[in-house]
């Protein structure tokens, strides 16, 4: 019994550290991480304050959805991540969430071209979510920002690769972020 509890404890620590590592820098790698980053934790102050409801609180997450060079077609290797976003948006917690998909590029190429390409890439993710997960198109808006909002420096190939991403912003409710009052019959202990 003692060894089973120890093994379970070690497993939980390993699981939590891998989740934290995956979320490092705002990047997520599965639907649970996407939901937590967009809506807040499901069993703590997020629910206590109604942040997981349609309260106007917004979160954001970066997804490393990759495309071929000069293409807006989602790479086969990136489909599981696009599907994770679809699963998050159709889950019990995410079913009422509205999002903005912001496409980003690196700084290679013409600035005007990169902006148009980033919009096409965001639109490709939107179409994938609508077609595969039957998500209402009204729940997903898109924007292409091109190279204008780099996450890291574009001076290295690794930096440019990191900057080619799709950002998901929770736009549920109002655009302003105001902390709502606690739900009725709850107590805040801090």
pLDDT in tens, 104-158: 999 999 999 999 999 999 999 999 999 999 999 999 999 999 999 998 999 999 9
Residue pair 124/72 in contact (Cβ under 8 Å)? The answer is yes
Range scoring the smallest mean pLDDT among 10-14, 75-79, 108-112: 10-14
Residue pair 112/183 in contact (Cβ under 8 Å)? The answer is no
Label residue 24 by pLDDT band (50, 70, 90). Answer: low
CATH topology of domain 23-170: 60s Ribosomal Protein L30; Chain: A; (3.30.1330)
- The confidence score (pLDDT) of residue 83 equals 98
Separation between Cα atoms, residue 117 and residue 71, nearest integer Å: 8
Tell me the pLDDT tens digit for each residue of 36-68.
999 887 644 344 334 444 444 458 999 999 887
Has residue 176 got a pLDDT over 70?
no
Angle (nearest 5°) at CA 88 between 83 and 89: 95
Separation between Cα atoms, residue 163 and residue 179, nearest integer Å: 31
DSSP H helices, the chain, are: 2-22, 31-39, 45-48, 79-90, 111-133, 157-163
Tokens encoding 132: 């595969």
Separation between Cα atoms, residue 18 and residue 13, nearest integer Å: 9
């Amino acid at each position: 019994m003692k060894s089973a509890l120890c093994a379970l404890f070690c497993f939980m620590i390993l699981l939590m550290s891998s989740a934290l590592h995956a979320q490092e820098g705002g990047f997520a790698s599965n639907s649970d991480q996407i939901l937590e980053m967009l809506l807040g934790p499901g069993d703590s102050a997020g629910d206590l304050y109604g942040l997981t409801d349609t309260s106007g609180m917004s979160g954001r997450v970066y997804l490393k959805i990759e495309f071929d060079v000069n293409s807006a077609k989602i790479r086969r290797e990136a489909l599981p991540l696009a599907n994770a976003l679809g699963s998050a948006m159709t889950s019990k917690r995410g079913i009422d969430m509205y999002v903005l998909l912001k496409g980003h590029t690196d700084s290679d190429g013409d600035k005007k071209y990169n902006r148009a390409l980033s919009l096409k890439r965001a639109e490709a993710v939107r179409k994938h979510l609508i077609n595969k997960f039957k998500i209402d198109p009204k729940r997903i808006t898109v924007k292409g920002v091109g190279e204008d909002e780099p996450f890291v420096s574009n001076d290295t190939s690794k930096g440019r690769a990191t900057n080619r991403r799709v950002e998901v912003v929770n736009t549920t409710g109002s655009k302003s972020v105001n902390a709502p009052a606690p739900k009725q019959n709850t107590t805040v202990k801090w």
